[in-house]
Structure 1
Amino acid sequence: MIFQTVRLWKLRRKTKKIEKTFIQHRHRLANQDRIQIDALINETFSRISRKDAAGAITSFEKLNEACHRYLSLPLVLRFGLYTVGLAVTIVVALIIRQTWFELYEIPSGSMRPTLKENDRLAVSKTTFGLNIPMKPKHLFFDEKLPKRGSIVVFTGNGMNIENNRTNYFYLFPGYKQYVKRLIGLPGDSLYFYGGKIYGIDKEGQDTKLHEILTPNEHIPFIYLEGNIRSNRQTNSYYGTSYIYQMNSPIAKITEEVFGHFKGSLISKQKVEDLYELYGMENFATSRIVPKEMVSDPFYRKAGAEYFLELTHHPSIRQIDLDYDHALHHGPRPHVEMSYIPLSETQLRHIFDALYSARFQVIGGR
């Protein structure tokens, strides 16, 4: 008895759905077809009311067959409706992702130990204001809401970041999103000293940084020779090249007669050479290289299989014609190269302390 009641209830619900569709599209049916479907609907409801399950099923099957024959939309119209529905879905998804919230997956270990590789985040986009879709701008942005030490998501649009372009849904070009910790606000001055990061606000007061940054386990790096952009609108082959650090011009290289180059500083700081800016004389970029890549015989006498290559002290007093990290050929500030031979024990110590920003770390290390 219970199963029969449930079956009749399902038939009533399906019949009501067909009746609603029939009312919406009855105007495009022939008169005799309208009469036939209307009679089948009434017959089905009548049998359901009398609790005639077998008769109701038979009437519903006839009704369903008639609806498929007379109420089915043409193929072209169905394709058009599916296309419109898909387009509306994509637009709604884009609006939600751009203005409300978005899901992210951490691809690298640059935010360790707070966030690790493959961590998933749901990020609100209304915390500081209302996002303008497809633009790196806000409506009703409140500059008092961002706090030092909080984790934020920002776009690479307009920033001096390499390889920051991507395609959303494999179709729409855009810029990559970055998940980082906010350590400075507009007007702050940040500097590194002794492996730690310090800040001074626009009023000259020391800023209190997030406790996870003390001590600092990861010191951010920049290309010592800077990001070099050429201006070839002059008659010379290379023209005038400008050296940028953190998206600000700090020096320029001018091509002179007979293929000579001259470097000069345009930074407001009172320094004599490039490496004196930002304390770069205290740092070096490094990589481990095999002995075959060490051309200086002085270092090769050490007999080590691997060396720690240090690149340091970029200088505009000497300009080299070379390739940069992006394989662009042109004038570059001269950099000093030093090598330290590495023993097997030292290599093991280095490997134990390494983690990368671009591959998954096995075992949580």
Structure 2
Amino acid sequence: MACALPNLSTKGTHMGKLGRLKKALQHCWKQYRKRGKQLEKGAKQQFTEAFHELEEAITKRDVTRGKVWREKLEDLCKTHIPRSWLRATVELVVAIAVALAIATVIRQSWFELYEIPTGSMRPTFREQDHLSVTKTPFGINIPLETEHFYFDPDLVQRGSVVIFSTDKMPVADSDTTFFGIFPYKKRLVKRMIGKPGDTLYFYGGKIYGLDSEGNPIDILLNEPSMAKLDHIPFISFEGTPSQPKRDQIVFSQMNIPVGRLTRRPTGDWKATVFQG
């Protein structure tokens, strides 16, 4: 025994069209209430007829008839109640602001696209690789901030690729802007090998480590991406100079002081190399 079911998709489409007719009626009525008193008698009669016919079509669920009167009503609004330049400007600004706010929340709290600028992550990522990055595995970010609505550090796994902010880090040229408007700190794409409290050391092309409880960190030895590592003794040959005193210059590698130049009272310089 068969049973005929109603066409739910057609019914849903019909209701959607009626909803659009109602929105058009409400929108035109709001415009007419604000500026309709300034219209001539003939134009007012045309509006009255169009409002009546469209409302009746909606009441009787006559979509075809309603569409005809909706178009006539919209034409009347465009002809007799055009938007002022001020209103058009305000609507444009509001639309841009809303779109910008939505895009900011999505990119800051949900996902974002990144391009790899350098070869520091070879061979996992190469220059100009494009990444689609989700921002919800560890928690929920606060847009344009380095804080979180929620964050679970236990979800962050050693050996995984993470993206983090350079905020409050001694990284050169870390300032940028978001959408060319909001002040922003650059993000770095790196592989995380240590968590707070870990002790790590490099020996023989391997990274060995102990966690905060003294347990060996085996993933650093067994992870395929950590199988072959190169030791980089310095980022730049001259290091990063700083001048803590007027007669002294300190050179650092990776934020660790490695040497110092001190100006003597006689005018010559004394060089000191730190041995660890």
Q: Which residue of 1 aligns with 2:36?
A: 30
Distance 2:24 2:147 in 1: 48
Letter in 1 for 2:244: N
Matched, 1:187 2:183: no
Question: Identity of counterpart residues, as a percentage?
Answer: 36
Q: Provide the secondary structure at the position in 1 that maps to 2:47.
A: helix
Distance 1:62 1:27 in 2: 18
Distance 1:69 1:27 in 2: 16
Q: Provide the secondary structure at the position in 2 that maps to 1:257.
A: coil
Correspondent of 1:19 among 15, 19, 25: 25
Matched, 1:115 2:104: no
- Structure 1-normalised TM-score? 0.58
Deviation at residue 218 of structure 1 after TM alignment: 4.4
Alpha-carbon distance change, 137 to 41 in structure 1, aligned in 2, over 3 angstroms: closer
Deviations 1:293-316 (A, max 9, x none): xxxxxxxxxxxxxxxxxxxxxxxx
Distance 1:171 1:35 in 2: 50
Residue ranges of structure 2 left out of the alignment (5+ in a row): 1-13
Matched, 1:216 2:228: yes
Distance 2:177 2:158 in 1: 31
Q: Which residue of 2 aligns with 1:63?
A: 73
Letter in 1 for 2:193: I
Note if contact 1:159-1:247 (Cα within 8 Å) is conserved in structure 2. Answer: no
Letter in 1 for 2:262: T
Correspondent of 1:143 among 149, 153, 178: 153
Matched, 1:207 2:213: no
Distance 1:227 1:218 in 2: 22
Distance 1:11 1:153 in 2: 46
Q: Provide the secondary structure at the position in 2 that maps to 1:115.
A: coil
- Structure 2-normalised TM-score? 0.73
Matched, 1:231 2:231: no
Deviation at residue 37 of structure 1 after TM alignment: 1.1
Deviation at residue 60 of structure 1 after TM alignment: 5.7
Note if contact 1:22-1:71 (Cα within 8 Å) is conserved in structure 2. Answer: no
Distance 1:218 1:16 in 2: 68
Residue ranges of structure 1 left out of the alignment (5+ in a row): 1-8, 265-272, 278-365
Deviation at residue 181 of structure 1 after TM alignment: 0.7
Q: Which residue of 2 aligns with 1:97?
A: 107
Deviation at residue 195 of structure 1 after TM alignment: 2.7
Aligned residues: 254
Alpha-carbon distance change, 19 to 245 in structure 1, aligned in 2, over 3 angstroms: same
Distance 2:169 2:27 in 1: 54
Matched, 1:87 2:93: no
Matches within 5 A, 1:1-365: 15-31=21-37, 32=41, 33-43=43-53, 57=68, 62-208=72-218, 209=220, 211-220=223-232, 221-223=234-236, 225-231=238-244, 234=246, 239-249=247-257, 252-264=260-272, 273-274=273-274, 276-277=275-276
RMSD: 3.6
Note if contact 2:25-2:55 (Cα within 8 Å) is conserved in structure 1. Answer: no
Alpha-carbon distance change, 199 to 169 in structure 1, aligned in 2, over 3 angstroms: same
Distance 2:75 2:147 in 1: 55
Note if contact 2:28-2:73 (Cα within 8 Å) is conserved in structure 1. Answer: no
Letter in 2 for 1:228: P
Single out whichever of 144-153 and 65-74 deviates more from structure 2: 65-74
Letter in 1 for 2:29: I
Name the structure, 1 or 2, with higher relative contact order (CA <8 Å, separation 6+). 1
Distance 1:165 1:198 in 2: 34
Note if contact 1:128-1:141 (Cα within 8 Å) is conserved in structure 2. Answer: yes
